[in-house]
Amino acid sequence: MTPPITLDRLRADGEAMSVALSREFYESGAGLKSDAVLQPIYAKYPHVLGDDALALVREAFARAPEGSEAQRGARLLLDWQVDGLVSRELAAMDEREIAWESQAMVALPDGSRVPYQQTAIDIANAADRRQRLLLDRARAALVAKELAPMRRERFERELALTDRLGIARGYIETFVALSGVDLRALAAQCERFLSDTQAMWDDTLKEIVRRKLGISVAEATRADALALMRAPEFDAHFPGAALEDAARRNMREMGIDAAAGGHVRFDTGERAGKRSRAFCAPVRIPEEVYLVMRPHGGQTDYTTFMHELGHALHFGNMRAEYPFEYRWLGDNSVTESYAMLFDHLMQNAGWLLRYTEMDKRTLPAFQRQAGFEELQFLRRYCAKLLYELELHGGTHAWSALPDLYVRTLSDATGFRYDAADAFVDVDPRFYAARYLRAWQLQAVIADALVEKFDEDWYRNPRAGPWIVEQLYAEGQRELAHELAERVAGQPLSFDPLARAAGSLLAAG
């Protein structure tokens, strides 16, 4: 006889299912296997994502006192149930997409073929602009023909499945109700940020595109943006062989174990089939966490490694006794803020001079490059959120979205985007909002660290234990704005980010 579903059983079996799914995503993303087999895992735990489980969690959420810890936990479980139910229904499509990405080959006019997973790296590294654009056009043609239709179909089904659950009216309102994130208020902040930084961005973009590429802004494409972010002229200051040792030394001086007592494992070598985009894979939290990176070269690898290290240390240092929902679920703006706290050290003059081979003569030019990258990424993600609200809002025909994507992203960044990416350059479940709130939160945390441990907090042996105990250990129990209030008594805002970008740009 099947035992009745309870919250305790749901937590235990939900964690077992999450471990199995995470291991599949890790092994396929790391190139250890060619595809992810998801459907048998969902089939093994039918009671975890079903009508009874959903009803149980909805009742727990409805009965919990307003503002209570019980309500907090129940909201996280309800959000997970909705996401999991939809993901289970879409598992076959996800398997198909993962297999496609690991096997697809981009055909070039000269008859050569490049693995799709390699194209982003090759585009960023291509010094010859003609070669860069040729590769990007071939990539876009393949995406438009094969990947974009898969992604569009998935979005159509995801919206329909979410509506069918009846949590709230529409996909956007369902996300807001379950996440605790006010998307429209954040979108309004994005619009103000784009307006407030427009003049600064116009001046910066024109100068850098002309100086580095020898073209006008009107000619610049997203492929050119990837090349500009790569900035190979600084490679000598960021030797790949020294990267992990430098990061470990930084953590040691800050009082943090870079391996979190053996919980964090590093997978940073080249491997066929490995995703070009780095990721952190928490397979068992906190006991088994993987940092996965495929080297691009130069400063990009340092920024990426520090970012993923922030994630890995967060997952590897969570309180093991915390319930499933506080370790596995929650506002991902929190873990993204910890990742950004570390990757933003690449903008810190003292950190650069101490842990890389940067010299004082080159530093101002590098800081200006960092300001350019920061502003570009912030404006890009603001535009992504605005576009994704339209994509999920149901007010546009699907056929009209590619033009809207091109217009929204191109206007915000100044780089011409390709319509082929309208359904591919979209992160699941408004993850752009998580990134944007993370940018805001890391600025608050950085200010708090400076106040508590001085400007060089990154090498203060008292700072690391505070980060572990006050931030990492708490998992994702709090929402980003709640954490900002707890550690610094500040709201989330783009204002400090705009000021910091302006200071970096003025440095060069």
In this prediction, what percent of the chain has a pLDDT beyond 90?
89
Q: Side chain identity at 17, as an amino acid letter? A: M
Question: What does the pLDDT read at residue 470?
Answer: 96
Mean pLDDT of the chain: 94
Token pair, residue 273, equals: 């089939």
Q: Side chain identity at 266, as an amino acid letter? A: F
Cα distance between residue 101 and residue 99, in whole Å? 6
- Band the pLDDT of 97: cuts 50, 70, 90: very high
DSSP state string for 97-122: HHHHHHH-EEEPTTS-EEEHHHHHHH
Number of other residues whose CB lies within 10 A of the CB of residue 57: 23
pLDDT digits (tens, 9 = 90+) for 442-465: 999 999 999 999 999 999 999 999
Where are the extended beta strands (E) located within 296-364?
none
Q: Which residues of 282-311 are buried (b: 16+ CB within 10 A; e: fewer)?
A: bbebbebbbbbbbbbebbbbbbbbbbbbbb
pTM of the model: 0.92
Phi/psi at 236 (5° precision)? -60, -25
Question: What does the pLDDT read at residue 2?
Answer: 63
Token pair, residue 190, equals: 């994005």
Q: Looking at the domain covering 187-507, what would its CATH class be? A: mainly alpha
Phi/psi at 167 (5° precision)? -70, -45
N-terminal to C-terminal alpha carbon distance within the chain = 71
pLDDT digits (tens, 9 = 90+) for 150-206: 999 999 999 999 999 989 999 999 999 999 999 999 999 999 999 999 999 999 999
Residue 16 has pLDDT above 70, yes or no: yes
Type and span of the H or E element at 449: helix 431-453
Cα distance between residue 231 and residue 238, in whole Å? 11
The residues pairing with 280 across neighbouring beta strands, listed in sequence order, are: 291
Cα distance between residue 450 and residue 327, in whole Å? 28
Cα distance between residue 171 and residue 291, in whole Å? 32
Question: What does the pLDDT read at residue 428?
Answer: 86
Residue 1 has pLDDT above 60, yes or no: no
For CATH 1.10.1370.30, the residue range(s) in the chain are 187-507
pLDDT digits (tens, 9 = 90+) for 214-256: 999 999 999 999 999 888 899 999 999 999 999 999 999 999 9
The closest alpha carbon to 74, from 173, 168, 178, 183, belongs to 178
- Band the pLDDT of 380: cuts 50, 70, 90: very high
- Band the pLDDT of 275: cuts 50, 70, 90: confident
- Band the pLDDT of 384: cuts 50, 70, 90: very high
The closest alpha carbon to 343, from 378, 304, 377, belongs to 304
Number of other residues whose CB lies within 10 A of the CB of residue 272: 9
Stretch 75-100: mean pLDDT: 92
Question: What does the pLDDT read at residue 161?
Answer: 93
Residues 6+ apart with CB under 8 A from 205: 217, 220, 372, 414
pLDDT digits (tens, 9 = 90+) for 17-73: 999 999 999 999 999 998 889 899 999 999 999 889 999 999 999 999 998 999 999
461: left (phi over 0), alpha (psi -120 to 50) or beta: alpha
Residue 103 has pLDDT above 60, yes or no: yes
Token pair, residue 283, equals: 């397979």
Q: Which residues of 365-377 are buried (b: 16+ CB within 10 A; e: fewer)?
A: ebbbbbbbbbbbb
Cα distance between residue 463 and residue 345, in whole Å? 14
The residues pairing with 265 across neighbouring beta strands, listed in sequence order, are: 290
Question: What does the pLDDT read at residue 102?
Answer: 87
pLDDT digits (tens, 9 = 90+) for 295-314: 888 888 999 999 999 999 99
Question: What does the pLDDT read at residue 355?
Answer: 97
Q: Are the C-beta atoms of 371 and 503 separated by less than 8 Å?
A: yes
Cα distance between residue 93 and residue 13, in whole Å? 24
